Amino acid sequence: MLQTLLEVLYPPACIACAKVMPMRAPFCETCDVAVERLPPSRCRTCAEPGTFPRDTCTRCHLSPPPFTRTGAPFAHEGPVARALPRFKYEVHPELAPSLAELLASECRQFLSQAPNVLVALPLHDKRFRERKYDQTQLLAGALARATGREAPVGLLTRARETRRQVGLSESERAHNVAGAFTASPSAAGREVLLVDDVLTTGATVRAAATALREAGAARVEVITLARAFSLA
């Protein structure tokens, strides 16, 4: 009865365009056919789309990141690029379960060999108070429930406020988040899976993974809903 009531109050809707649908699904038919998945050819470490020598992009070759691999099912285009801002900036925390189920389904093979401890890329306290929720922690929690994992809060914190990465150059992004994260000593010896919504240059996950490794994490992997093509 509760489920029926919830569906009456909050009918199934497309996560990208909010169109009400007769049955539960991530996307409506129009948006579903427009979803762009990442091509099979990509960097084995950061999922940068393209064909590279030894499957390693130039960025990861010249500056190996502190994480071992990245799972990312979608290109940051079209319906996925519309769904994420709705979740992140337009006060739609209820999208977390749908996004997590979509991620779990699309990354089933990646997750089969991924760590069992999920760590969300956290907001700074000031931004959390402004937004009232941490979308990445919600995503990590929902993904943990969907895959039988754990998503403890507090393993990683944002030690200082940073600017939004949108609009910054690659070097500005790296400088913006350098030293921005602190990991708990309880991360020592643990294998963790960093969770984020979208990865562009990887500056933020590099900074977060660095903090975890410095705290003694044995291995860090990354999973994200979307992978943007690198900045020019």
Mean pLDDT score, 124-139: 79
Eight-class DSSP state of 122? P
Buried-state track 136-161, b at ≥16 Cβ within 10 A, e below 16: bbbbbbbbbbbbebebbeebbbbeee
pLDDT at 24: 86
Q: Which residues pair with 194 in a beta bridge?
A: 119, 222
Eight-class DSSP state of 191? E
- pLDDT band with cut points at 50, 70 and 90 for residue 133: confident
C-alpha closest to that of 68 among 208, 223, 222: 222
The answer to whether 123 and 89 have CB atoms below 8 angstroms apart is no
Joined together, the tokens standing for residue 81 give: 């690029």
pLDDT at 212: 97
Cα 183–chain centre separation: 18
How many domains in the chain? 1
Residue type, 69: R
Q: Does 111 reside within a domain?
A: yes
CATH number for the domain spanning 76: value is 3.40.50.2020
State whether residue 57 is helix, strand or coil. Answer: coil
pLDDT at 214: 96
Return d(Cα 166, Cα 197) in angstroms, integer.
14
Joined together, the tokens standing for residue 152 give: 């403890």
Range of the domain at 178: 25-227
- pLDDT band with cut points at 50, 70 and 90 for residue 126: confident
Q: Does 116 reside within a domain?
A: yes
Tens-place pLDDT, residues 67-120? 999 999 999 999 999 999 999 888 888 899 999 999 999 999 999 999 999 999
Residue type, 184: S
Q: Which residues contact 107 (CB under 8 A, 6 or more apart)?
A: 71, 72, 73, 223
- Structure-model confidence comparison of residues 216 and 163, the more confident one: 216
Q: Does 11 reside within a domain?
A: no
- Structure-model confidence comparison of residues 115 and 165, the more confident one: 115
- pLDDT band with cut points at 50, 70 and 90 for residue 1: low
Q: Does 29 reside within a domain?
A: yes
pTM given for the model? 0.90
Q: Does 3 reside within a domain?
A: no
Q: Does 67 reside within a domain?
A: yes
